Amino acid sequence: MKLLNTLVILSLLLFTSGCIAKKRPRKPVQKVVTVEVQGTTGELTIKGEVWADNWFAFYSGSSLIIEDSVPITTERSFNAESFIFKADYPLSLNFIVKDFKENDTGLEYIGSSRQQLGDGGFIAQFTDLKTGKVIAVTDSDWKCKVIHEAPLDNSCVNESDPQAGKAPCEYTALEEPENWQENDYDDSDWKNATTHAESSVRPKDGYEQINWEQNAKLIWTDNLVTHNTILCRIQIKQ
Protein backbone atom coordinates (compact mmCIF):
# COMPACT_ATOMS: atom_id res chain seq x y z
CA MET A 1 0.00 0.00 0.00
CA LYS A 2 2.85 2.39 0.86
CA LEU A 3 4.45 1.70 -2.54
CA LEU A 4 1.13 2.35 -4.28
CA ASN A 5 0.69 5.68 -2.48
CA THR A 6 4.22 6.70 -3.43
CA LEU A 7 3.58 5.91 -7.09
CA VAL A 8 0.35 7.92 -7.05
CA ILE A 9 2.11 10.94 -5.51
CA LEU A 10 4.94 10.74 -8.06
CA SER A 11 2.42 10.55 -10.90
CA LEU A 12 0.60 13.62 -9.64
CA LEU A 13 3.85 15.55 -9.32
CA LEU A 14 4.89 14.63 -12.86
CA PHE A 15 1.45 15.59 -14.21
CA THR A 16 1.48 18.93 -12.39
CA SER A 17 4.99 19.80 -13.53
CA GLY A 18 4.02 18.92 -17.10
CA CYS A 19 1.02 21.24 -16.95
CA ILE A 20 3.16 24.06 -15.61
CA ALA A 21 5.74 23.53 -18.32
CA LYS A 22 3.06 23.77 -21.01
CA LYS A 23 1.76 27.17 -19.82
CA ARG A 24 2.21 29.87 -22.43
CA PRO A 25 4.47 32.70 -21.28
CA ARG A 26 2.63 35.90 -20.46
CA LYS A 27 2.95 38.79 -22.85
CA PRO A 28 5.20 41.38 -21.18
CA VAL A 29 3.33 44.54 -20.21
CA GLN A 30 4.87 47.63 -21.74
CA LYS A 31 5.82 50.19 -19.10
CA VAL A 32 3.99 53.50 -19.23
CA VAL A 33 6.55 56.23 -19.90
CA THR A 34 5.72 59.85 -19.08
CA VAL A 35 6.53 62.23 -21.95
CA GLU A 36 6.91 66.00 -21.67
CA VAL A 37 4.96 67.83 -24.35
CA GLN A 38 6.99 70.62 -25.91
CA GLY A 39 5.63 74.01 -26.96
CA THR A 40 2.95 74.40 -24.27
CA THR A 41 2.84 77.47 -22.03
CA GLY A 42 1.21 78.46 -18.74
CA GLU A 43 1.67 78.82 -14.99
CA LEU A 44 0.50 75.28 -14.29
CA THR A 45 2.58 72.18 -14.94
CA ILE A 46 0.11 69.33 -15.30
CA LYS A 47 0.55 65.60 -15.55
CA GLY A 48 -2.17 63.89 -17.55
CA GLU A 49 -2.81 60.15 -17.42
CA VAL A 50 -5.26 58.47 -19.79
CA TRP A 51 -6.40 54.96 -20.67
CA ALA A 52 -8.81 54.53 -23.58
CA ASP A 53 -10.56 51.73 -25.42
CA ASN A 54 -9.29 52.23 -28.03
CA TRP A 55 -7.93 55.65 -29.10
CA PHE A 56 -8.01 59.29 -27.99
CA ALA A 57 -6.79 62.76 -28.83
CA PHE A 58 -6.52 65.27 -25.98
CA TYR A 59 -6.74 69.05 -26.35
CA SER A 60 -6.08 71.79 -23.83
CA GLY A 61 -8.43 74.40 -25.20
CA SER A 62 -8.03 74.12 -28.96
CA SER A 63 -4.36 73.07 -28.74
CA LEU A 64 -3.68 69.43 -29.48
CA ILE A 65 -1.55 68.10 -26.62
CA ILE A 66 -1.27 64.40 -27.40
CA GLU A 67 -2.74 61.61 -29.47
CA ASP A 68 -2.81 57.97 -28.47
CA SER A 69 0.51 56.44 -29.55
CA VAL A 70 -1.25 53.37 -30.99
CA PRO A 71 -3.19 54.13 -34.21
CA ILE A 72 -6.97 53.64 -34.22
CA THR A 73 -6.51 51.24 -37.15
CA THR A 74 -4.92 48.75 -34.74
CA GLU A 75 -7.28 46.02 -33.53
CA ARG A 76 -7.21 45.38 -29.78
CA SER A 77 -5.12 48.48 -29.07
CA PHE A 78 -5.11 48.96 -25.31
CA ASN A 79 -2.53 51.16 -23.61
CA ALA A 80 -2.16 54.01 -21.14
CA GLU A 81 -0.52 57.36 -21.87
CA SER A 82 1.19 59.67 -19.37
CA PHE A 83 2.25 63.19 -20.33
CA ILE A 84 3.20 66.60 -18.92
CA PHE A 85 2.05 69.93 -20.31
CA LYS A 86 1.64 73.55 -19.23
CA ALA A 87 -1.62 75.50 -19.06
CA ASP A 88 -3.50 78.23 -17.21
CA TYR A 89 -6.81 78.41 -15.39
CA PRO A 90 -9.58 78.17 -16.41
CA LEU A 91 -8.72 74.81 -17.94
CA SER A 92 -10.67 73.49 -20.90
CA LEU A 93 -9.99 69.74 -21.12
CA ASN A 94 -11.25 68.18 -24.34
CA PHE A 95 -11.16 64.64 -25.74
CA ILE A 96 -11.99 62.93 -28.97
CA VAL A 97 -12.33 59.23 -28.13
CA LYS A 98 -12.85 56.39 -30.59
CA ASP A 99 -13.70 52.75 -30.18
CA PHE A 100 -12.17 50.60 -32.91
CA LYS A 101 -14.40 49.70 -35.85
CA GLU A 102 -13.41 48.25 -39.21
CA ASN A 103 -15.72 50.58 -41.12
CA ASP A 104 -18.99 52.47 -40.76
CA THR A 105 -20.88 49.28 -39.91
CA GLY A 106 -19.37 49.67 -36.44
CA LEU A 107 -18.29 46.01 -36.47
CA GLU A 108 -15.02 44.28 -35.67
CA TYR A 109 -13.49 41.14 -37.24
CA ILE A 110 -15.85 41.36 -40.22
CA GLY A 111 -16.23 38.10 -42.14
CA SER A 112 -14.71 35.97 -39.39
CA SER A 113 -16.29 33.75 -36.77
CA ARG A 114 -15.48 36.54 -34.29
CA GLN A 115 -17.54 39.22 -36.08
CA GLN A 116 -18.88 41.39 -33.29
CA LEU A 117 -19.84 44.79 -31.93
CA GLY A 118 -17.04 46.52 -30.06
CA ASP A 119 -17.33 48.58 -26.90
CA GLY A 120 -15.65 51.73 -25.62
CA GLY A 121 -14.67 53.40 -22.36
CA PHE A 122 -11.94 55.71 -21.08
CA ILE A 123 -10.54 57.20 -17.89
CA ALA A 124 -8.31 60.21 -17.24
CA GLN A 125 -6.83 62.20 -14.39
CA PHE A 126 -4.84 65.43 -14.23
CA THR A 127 -2.41 66.41 -11.46
CA ASP A 128 -0.85 69.79 -10.63
CA LEU A 129 2.79 68.78 -10.29
CA LYS A 130 3.65 71.83 -8.16
CA THR A 131 1.11 71.00 -5.44
CA GLY A 132 0.68 67.28 -6.08
CA LYS A 133 -3.09 67.81 -6.12
CA VAL A 134 -5.32 65.96 -8.56
CA ILE A 135 -7.26 68.80 -10.19
CA ALA A 136 -9.49 66.88 -12.60
CA VAL A 137 -10.75 63.33 -13.09
CA THR A 138 -13.23 61.77 -15.48
CA ASP A 139 -16.66 61.43 -13.86
CA SER A 140 -20.30 62.19 -14.57
CA ASP A 141 -19.63 65.95 -14.52
CA TRP A 142 -18.06 65.70 -17.98
CA LYS A 143 -20.23 66.53 -21.00
CA CYS A 144 -20.14 64.18 -24.00
CA LYS A 145 -21.55 64.18 -27.52
CA VAL A 146 -21.83 61.26 -29.95
CA ILE A 147 -20.58 61.99 -33.46
CA HIS A 148 -20.52 58.44 -34.85
CA GLU A 149 -23.05 55.73 -34.07
CA ALA A 150 -23.17 52.32 -35.72
CA PRO A 151 -24.91 50.11 -36.36
CA LEU A 152 -28.33 51.63 -35.79
CA ASP A 153 -29.72 48.08 -35.73
CA ASN A 154 -27.71 45.60 -33.67
CA SER A 155 -28.84 42.72 -35.90
CA CYS A 156 -26.19 43.97 -38.33
CA VAL A 157 -23.76 41.78 -36.41
CA ASN A 158 -25.51 38.69 -37.82
CA GLU A 159 -25.07 39.72 -41.46
CA SER A 160 -22.81 37.47 -43.56
CA ASP A 161 -21.86 40.44 -45.74
CA PRO A 162 -22.51 43.61 -43.72
CA GLN A 163 -22.69 46.75 -45.86
CA ALA A 164 -22.30 50.15 -44.18
CA GLY A 165 -25.27 52.38 -44.89
CA LYS A 166 -27.57 49.53 -45.92
CA ALA A 167 -30.15 48.06 -43.54
CA PRO A 168 -29.60 46.70 -40.98
CA CYS A 169 -26.11 48.29 -40.96
CA GLU A 170 -27.06 51.95 -41.22
CA TYR A 171 -25.13 54.58 -39.26
CA THR A 172 -25.02 58.25 -38.35
CA ALA A 173 -21.92 60.42 -38.60
CA LEU A 174 -21.68 64.09 -37.62
CA GLU A 175 -18.98 66.71 -38.02
CA GLU A 176 -17.35 68.07 -34.89
CA PRO A 177 -19.20 71.22 -33.75
CA GLU A 178 -17.37 74.41 -34.58
CA ASN A 179 -15.20 75.76 -31.74
CA TRP A 180 -16.31 72.97 -29.37
CA GLN A 181 -12.94 73.05 -27.58
CA GLU A 182 -13.16 76.71 -26.58
CA ASN A 183 -13.92 77.82 -23.01
CA ASP A 184 -17.01 79.77 -24.03
CA TYR A 185 -18.56 76.98 -26.11
CA ASP A 186 -22.15 76.28 -25.06
CA ASP A 187 -22.39 72.54 -24.31
CA SER A 188 -25.71 72.79 -22.47
CA ASP A 189 -27.36 70.39 -24.94
CA TRP A 190 -24.64 67.76 -24.45
CA LYS A 191 -25.41 64.90 -22.10
CA ASN A 192 -23.49 64.22 -18.94
CA ALA A 193 -21.06 61.33 -19.20
CA THR A 194 -22.13 57.94 -17.90
CA THR A 195 -19.77 56.22 -15.48
CA HIS A 196 -19.18 52.52 -16.05
CA ALA A 197 -17.91 49.73 -13.83
CA GLU A 198 -14.62 47.98 -14.58
CA SER A 199 -16.63 44.80 -15.14
CA SER A 200 -18.46 46.50 -18.03
CA VAL A 201 -15.45 48.08 -19.75
CA ARG A 202 -12.94 45.33 -18.86
CA PRO A 203 -9.86 47.63 -19.01
CA LYS A 204 -6.52 45.98 -19.72
CA ASP A 205 -2.93 46.55 -20.96
CA GLY A 206 -1.68 49.63 -19.12
CA TYR A 207 -4.73 50.40 -17.03
CA GLU A 208 -3.31 48.78 -13.90
CA GLN A 209 0.01 50.60 -14.28
CA ILE A 210 -1.61 53.91 -13.38
CA ASN A 211 -2.37 54.74 -9.75
CA TRP A 212 -5.87 56.06 -10.37
CA GLU A 213 -7.32 58.53 -7.90
CA GLN A 214 -10.35 57.05 -6.14
CA ASN A 215 -12.79 59.45 -7.77
CA ALA A 216 -11.51 58.86 -11.31
CA LYS A 217 -14.14 56.85 -13.21
CA LEU A 218 -14.37 55.00 -16.49
CA ILE A 219 -16.76 57.04 -18.60
CA TRP A 220 -18.51 56.99 -21.97
CA THR A 221 -22.03 57.75 -23.05
CA ASP A 222 -24.88 55.50 -21.91
CA ASN A 223 -24.11 53.16 -24.83
CA LEU A 224 -20.68 51.51 -24.77
CA VAL A 225 -21.41 49.43 -27.86
CA THR A 226 -22.71 51.51 -30.77
CA HIS A 227 -21.52 55.00 -29.81
CA ASN A 228 -18.20 54.63 -31.60
CA THR A 229 -16.80 58.17 -31.60
CA ILE A 230 -17.53 60.69 -28.88
CA LEU A 231 -16.41 64.14 -27.80
CA CYS A 232 -16.03 64.80 -24.07
CA ARG A 233 -15.13 68.03 -22.30
CA ILE A 234 -14.99 69.80 -18.96
CA GLN A 235 -13.92 73.20 -17.66
CA ILE A 236 -11.90 73.48 -14.47
CA LYS A 237 -11.77 76.80 -12.64
CA GLN A 238 -9.23 77.63 -9.95
CB-based contacts of 55, cutoff 8 Å, min separation 6: 67, 68, 70, 71, 72, 77, 97, 98, 100
Label residue 19 by pLDDT band (50, 70, 90).
very low
Mean pLDDT of 63-78: 84
pLDDT of residue 31: 74
Mean pLDDT of 216-227: 98
pLDDT over 80 at 86, yes or no: yes
pLDDT of residue 163: 97
pLDDT of residue 201: 95
pLDDT of residue 33: 86
CATH code for residues 34-236: 2.60.120
List the domain boundaries for the chain: 34-236
Q: Are 142 and 231 in contact (CB under 8 A)?
A: no
The predicted-structure confidence for 89-123, as pLDDT tens digits, reads as follows 999 999 999 999 999 999 999 999 999 999 999 99
